[in-house]
Structure 1
């Protein structure tokens, strides 16, 4: 009796173990990890929407662009006006993207919006240009800016060697790529920390400027519009530099699939984040002009460092240290979001399929992020920051304008789509017209072959689309399969699956 009871109990225990084992080994859906929310810990969040926007926008731009922007407009008054106008334009653009992001809740930013409104050809051209030009060149510019500030203290009185700057930038790209490939949480915590660090230096500069203004340091603001330069080309190039500093206002749309409660968190993050950045940028530039004349600012090798030397000495070392934190934070946010664009393009069949694979251990689009980092390293070789900014802006505002135009088109062609956020139609009309002006003005006023090269490169995506997407040309499987198999084993990645509700 006791033996029979024991056997029965063992059988029950074995059945429970088998059930638990079966449950524990039940195949899990492989998809991107949903870890991004609006508020930081302890508010049960890992990657916050506001930190993504503020952390990505405030990076190298506010420490690199003031000099180039001032050089284009020539005086303090128009300089501050352009900074404020850029903030307004970024806010209007972000509102347009808020409607798009809550109407079409797919990761990839402009890519799915262009796909829905105009079809696969414009979407592919955007993907082609973004993957190979705008996104990696942006990453390269930010990391080159980081390298310049990080190496400057070790070469007092002279410029750091270009080899040192480029090697340091390459190291930064590799480290950030590895971090974002390993863990969404790790990249999120790093982003939150670096955002806090960069807000410290922003606060220091702003508070110092306010104190100096209160002490009567206002002489640099007298006749602030004297010697202004106004031309279609100069204003457009000034906007290019200012908007480079604001670039990132649309970054949250790249991770819509991973953003918890996007209908609430996406527009709320934008409404809070963009105006906050605008106010900070205007106040920072006012602070710069309290201690430097226009001529002195144009002659400065590093505007923020000159400000620190004059205001914070002997603690001026704080400025380059926190500028380094700021640029790294911007690069980290850019890498996180741009990797998702590569992932979506691979998933849609517009790039190699392996780029849409997901890490088994970390649930991150590791192949896409690594591909993005590798292309960015190639862009640090030429390393001409000012030229890269101008032509980056020319290309990116071409597609910003086209994407906002897509919003207008879908108001008439896709009326059935639910729009949790609906903005007045005048806003996308204004943004579209300004985008056209920004793209056309430099070509009309000061035509250069480089703009033509940029247009030709964008259009060169057409034969690639026809061959590999439209006609579905496939590489021989004898070549492709072994490469894909070895990459899967090396990176431990598998194809993404659809989520089971």
Structure 2
């Protein structure tokens, strides 16, 4: 088929999203549970404020560099699928398929499961489990219910899903701004809490601790890429997608830095680090400790409601954006045809939305079974495979559902972000005359810096003992996509817009 073949009109999603919706997808997807939980982990790993701020700034700049680059690709190729489209145009069908495969099996669905688990983690503090139901099981049921709600909303209409995103983003950003202003309004906090600013000496262990903390901070920033899969449905994408990405990232970096400083202004660093609670008790989470210090018990209730709203809207953003990649893949003949169908009434990729929701729910069920199932009381000293398995199972059993799901998402996501950003070099070489409504600011330095920092970060995950297993598991999962590609691809489909071509 000709390289510029465009799919039939019945296979094209309608442009129903304006600039406000696009901006709220960026901001609303990113601000989830991270800023309410991650600062405690960062303070635990990096016990000095200067290093903490460096971690947040570097992660924000890295994400911002990615957003500046991706804005060019989204404006140039405004088709459903986002990174899938850019990877296929730059590198071909297999790398693009592996992105979609990993997105569906763990990255996007794992993010949804993680957000749903965070939502449930706060919900069960306000609505305790009924008699006879274990607390961990109750948390899993609530998480599955949250996924079911956002899946249903986004099947019923893209406008409905985007409207929920806009309203929810306004509410949660307003809530975060209110949290920041509390120390000033109540005249609480002291500059003495901002010490120590720097470590007594810089060494390799300090740098490695900062890189380990950055894994969690990048999770807090994760989601900035989400507007690009919706490009086919955004009006005037050449203008609105770059604006949404650039303004959205600017907002996020400012909000995260100000909120982090507010935490440390009110609470001593040791108290924030102690809020890195391995048992996941909400009243010990850093945002709850902060609000309790300022407002007492009503503050804990208020922060629980704010985090529930925040994570739910991020969950909705993933339900809105993620299925567009599977829809585009099916349209290109890389997934079953059913996933490429548009609902005749609601004009949504309903089957793709449903499939994503079902798999995310399955991840929650599996995670719940791990943390609520039986575990050995002690780990024997026996060597060999059985001793290793016993120790690993005990560690999983003692890890909150939220943390189990989070760690498996980060490596694969950042690997494909790296490939997507680097595709700007390939596409400029392959299609130099293609119209680009927006060109990456600072090119080629901007994408080069992103690539360098990403390589260092991914390498640190492989070196660090705490993240190595998850990183290797992520690589293994990606490689499993190769036989899946052979089994699932169809050779009888025409090339769709935004795949091999730049139509």
Who is 2:37 aligned against? 64
Using a 3 Å threshold, how does the CA distance of structure 1 residues 250 and 450 change in structure 2: closer, same or farther? closer
C-alpha distance in 2 between matches for 1:175 and 1:66? 29
C-alpha distance in 1 between matches for 2:456 and 2:314? 28
Q: Could you tell me which runs of 5 or more consecutive residues in structure 2 were left unpaired when the two chains were aligned.
A: 1-7, 276-283, 369-400, 498-503
Once the two structures are superposed, residues 10-62 of structure 1 have per-residue CA deviations (whole angstroms, 9 ceiling, x without a partner) of: xxxxxxxxxxxxxxxxx9946423211113xxxxxxxx111111111111111
Task: List aligned pairs for 1:20-419, cutoff 5 A.
Answer: 29=10, 31-39=12-20, 48-154=21-127, 161-211=135-185, 217-226=190-199, 230-231=205-206, 233-300=208-275, 301-313=284-296, 315-316=298-299, 317-380=301-364, 381-382=366-367, 384-419=401-436
Once the two structures are superposed, residues 413-449 of structure 1 have per-residue CA deviations (whole angstroms, 9 ceiling, x without a partner) of: 2212221211211101111111111111121343734
Give the match's secondary structure for 2:433.
Answer: coil
Using a 3 Å threshold, how does the CA distance of structure 1 residues 449 and 242 change in structure 2: closer, same or farther? closer
Q: 2:452 aligns with which of 433, 457, 479?
A: 433
Q: Confirm or deny: 8 A CA contact 2:80 2:229 kept in the other structure.
A: yes
Displacement of 1:215 after TM fit?
A: 5.8
| TM-score normalised by structure 1 residue count | 0.82
Once the two structures are superposed, residues 253-284 of structure 1 have per-residue CA deviations (whole angstroms, 9 ceiling, x without a partner) of: 01001000011111111221111111111111
C-alpha distance in 1 between matches for 2:358 and 2:111? 13
C-alpha distance in 2 between matches for 1:236 and 1:418? 38
C-alpha distance in 1 between matches for 2:189 and 2:286? 22
Q: Confirm or deny: 8 A CA contact 1:140 1:169 kept in the other structure.
A: yes
Q: Confirm or deny: 8 A CA contact 2:44 2:273 kept in the other structure.
A: yes
Using a 3 Å threshold, how does the CA distance of structure 1 residues 139 and 74 change in structure 2: closer, same or farther? same
Q: Confirm or deny: 8 A CA contact 2:335 2:489 kept in the other structure.
A: no
C-alpha distance in 2 between matches for 1:455 and 1:147? 29
- Structure with bigger RCO (C-alpha 8 Å, 6+ apart): 2
> Whose radius of gyration is greater, 1 or 2?
1
Give the match's secondary structure for 1:359.
Answer: coil
Q: Confirm or deny: 8 A CA contact 2:13 2:342 kept in the other structure.
A: yes
Who is 2:398 aligned against? none
Give the match's secondary structure for 2:488.
Answer: helix
Displacement of 1:237 after TM fit?
A: 2.3
Q: Confirm or deny: 8 A CA contact 1:75 1:224 kept in the other structure.
A: yes
C-alpha distance in 2 between matches for 1:132 and 1:433? 27
How many residue pairs get matched?
437
Q: Confirm or deny: 8 A CA contact 1:65 1:241 kept in the other structure.
A: yes
| TM-score normalised by structure 2 residue count | 0.82
C-alpha distance in 2 between matches for 1:28 and 1:261? 18
Once the two structures are superposed, residues 173-219 of structure 1 have per-residue CA deviations (whole angstroms, 9 ceiling, x without a partner) of: 0011001101122212211111111012101111113446x666111
CA RMSD of aligned residues (A): 2.4
Give the match's secondary structure for 1:74.
Answer: coil
Once the two structures are superposed, residues 206-253 of structure 1 have per-residue CA deviations (whole angstroms, 9 ceiling, x without a partner) of: 1113446x6661111122224788455433321111111111111110
Using a 3 Å threshold, how does the CA distance of structure 1 residues 67 and 104 change in structure 2: closer, same or farther? same
Q: Could you tell me which runs of 5 or more consecutive residues in structure 1 were left unpaired when the two chains were aligned.
A: 1-26, 40-47, 474-495, 497-501
Give the match's secondary structure for 2:342.
Answer: strand
Who is 2:487 aligned against? 467
Once the two structures are superposed, residues 279-334 of structure 1 have per-residue CA deviations (whole angstroms, 9 ceiling, x without a partner) of: 11111111111222222123233221121111123641222112111111110011
C-alpha distance in 2 between matches for 1:81 and 1:37? 35
Displacement of 1:153 after TM fit?
A: 2.9
